[in-house]
Amino acid sequence: MKGTREFWDQRYLNRKMGWDIGEVSSPLKAYIDQLSSKDIRILVPGAGNGYEVAYLYENGFKDVYALDISKMPLENYKKDHPDFPEDQLLNLDFFKLNQMKFDLILEQTFFCALQPELREKYAKKMQTLLKEGGVLAGLLFDFELNDDGPPYGGGIEEYRSLFSQYFQ
């Protein structure tokens, strides 16, 4: 079943991550580079291979957390980055993350990997995970919404309608 731990384990095992570009995306890199404080707590949900996490950590952001439902990419990340704190690799369902608040949540292909019926729940959960004044920043695919994913599509009007309920 799509979205389960087993589904994602199989995707990683078979290397079926069609939207993995092999590095931090240029827009997120540019966003990270303009951040003035390195002392913020950051979450990268659906971190996958952790390119954004690695870039953040290597650039002085030490309070950064990678979350993924599949243990496989987190284990691979730890092998490749042995100095990264293991307690900042969160192997759990995003919707079960509690008791933590973040200054910044970076969205890089996590939203598009969730079944469309979970999008409202996603937006609401993001709001609860952010500290007062916190920021959700990221990239969203702009192609017709479909049931063939992941990735699932969507468009700017849908995104504005959804996120305006929870964010300014």
Tell me if 112 is assigned to some domain. yes
Lowest mean pLDDT of 9-13, 116-120, 156-160, name the range: 9-13
Tell me if 25 is assigned to some domain. no
Tell me if 132 is assigned to some domain. yes
CATH number at residue 108: 3.40.50.150
Tell me if 24 is assigned to some domain. no
d(CA 141, CA 139): 7
Tell me if 31 is assigned to some domain. no
Tell me if 22 is assigned to some domain. no
Would the pTM count as exceeding 0.85?
yes
Provide the pLDDT for residue 18: 64
Share of the chain above pLDDT 70, in %: 93
CA angle centred on 121, ends 89 and 166, rounded to 5°: 100
Domain tally, the chain: 1
Mean of pLDDT values over 8-30: 79
Tell me if 54 is assigned to some domain. yes
User: 55-100: per-residue pLDDT in tens?
Assistant: 999 999 999 999 999 999 999 999 999 999 999 999 999 999 998 9
Structural domain boundaries enclosing 143: 5-14+36-163
User: 119-143: per-residue pLDDT in tens?
Assistant: 999 999 999 999 999 999 998 878 7
Question: Is there a contact between 20 and 52 (Cβ–Cβ < 8 Å)?
Answer: no
